[in-house]
Homo-oligomer: A and B are copies of this chain.
């Protein structure tokens, strides 16, 4: 073997070792990169996208899924509590729909086992979209452009709520946000984040945040008591898992939210009480971990969190199939019928 060739072989072996070490390092990190959603049924996803943007699923004809899970601003409405039918006030901070397929369950209290089970909730909730499943089905059945698509995707002549929520869930499952700077770092691009951001990540791990905020979604994988070390004081009456399990020991147990794209969705917590990321980090360190961060530590963790913003949903603005003469003409100002 000539000397040049030996050098080349050595260099290649070194590179292989180095890359291997990087891959192993990434595997050992408690956070994993997001991978883009694989779309297996594009017609279903397209149908679900239209439904997600269609206000005709609401009583008023004015509120769509996108009204509170606004895909132009991080998949949420960024209020303490959401606006519903007749400007009703919701009870809790609307969680982002981005990466929500990675959650162990849906809603803050996990009362819906998956996205399809979730999607039916707001449609029929009097303080959200304020309609009924029957009314939603009837309305869509009068829209030829929907009938054609439901026939194609589900083989049905009559549109049912189970197909409506299944299609919405299929669309929502595509709302993954890969390619954040942190993911690039995880995949070996060491220049993708700054020294301060990296120091913030180290602090995020050392302080203990990562115990709950881990996995590809940096959260969403477990329920935890809010106020684990010190009591979390809030005027918001939500009780968390206790409302689902009936078990008083589950009071204030909430699903750990994803921290992906967290920069885009102030205010924070289920009660929206933290106006800034800095406030949220300080509160979490204290009530969950019993720690007080220095301003410098806080700033570094915030800097790290901002590296978690990934590619936002990118698709042409959906065009909704037109109503027919048979489609109800909604009146947002009609009094709400008593049940």
The answer to whether B77 touches A62 (Cβ under 8 A) is yes
Stretch from A15-23, A202-210, A259-267, A281-289 at the B interface: A259-267
Given known A-B contacts A79-B332, A278-B325, A325-B278, A314 and B316 have beta carbons under 8 A apart: yes
A73 sits at the interface (CB 8 A): yes
Q: What's the tally of chain A residues with a CB closer than 8 Å to chain B?
A: 46
For the complex, is A60 an interface residue (Cβ under 8 Å from B)? yes
Per a CB cutoff under 8 Å, which of B53, B314, B318, B330 touches A79?
A: B330
| Smallest beta-carbon distance A274→chain B, Å | 10
Write the chain B residue with the least CB distance to A328.
B275
Q: Does A323 contact B (CB under 8 A)?
A: yes
- In the assembled complex, the Cα of A266 lies from the Cα of B78 at a distance in Å of 32
CB contact under 8 A between A266 and B318, given known A53-B72, A61-B78, A79-B62 = no
In the assembly, what is the distance between CA of A74 and CA of B313, in Å?
23
In this complex, what residue of B is CB-closest to A87? B87
Query: What string of 1s and 0s marks CB contacts (under 8 Å) between A43-74 and chain B?
Result: 00000000001110000111000010011111
Could you tell me if B266 and A329 are in contact, using CB atoms closer than 8 angstroms? yes
Assembled-state Cα–Cα distance A89/B319 (Å): 26
Q: Which residues of B contact A81 (CB under 8 A)?
A: 333
A317 at the B interface (CB under 8 A)? yes
> Bound complex: CA of A275 vs CA of B326, how far in Å?
10
B72 adjacent to A319 (CB under 8 Å): yes
A291 proximity list for chain B (CB < 8 A): none
Number of copies: 2
A80 contacts the other chain (Cβ, under 8 Å)?
yes
Chain B residue with minimal CB distance to A81?
B333
Residue numbers in B under 8 Å from A71 (CB-CB): 317
Are A80 and B319 also in contact (CB < 8 A) when A87-B87, A276-B325 are? no
Which B residues are in CB contact (< 8 Å) with A317?
A: 71-72, 313-317
**A30 in the interface (beta carbon within 8 A):** no
Are the CB atoms of A83 and B62 closer together than 8 Å? yes
- Is A251 part of the contact surface with B, judged by Cβ < 8 Å? no
State A214–B325 Cα separation when bound (angstroms): 25
Q: Does A320 reach chain B (CB closer than 8 Å)?
A: yes
Does A86 make an interface contact (CB < 8 A)? yes
Central interface residue in A79, A89, A315, by most chain B CB within 10 Å: A79
Closest to A333 in B: B89
The answer to whether A266 touches B316, judged by C-beta atoms less than 8 angstroms apart, is no
Closest-CB distance, A247 to chain B (whole angstroms): 32
Contact mask for chain A residues 69-107; partner B; CB cutoff 8 A; 1 contact, 0 none: 011111001111101001101000000000000000000
Chain A 269-300 interface mask (CB, 8 Å, partner B; 1/0): 00000011110000000000000000000000
- The answer, yes or no, to whether A248 is at the interface (CB within 8 Å) is no
5 contacts between A and B (CB under 8 A): A55-B73, A72-B320, A83-B333, A275-B325, A316-B317
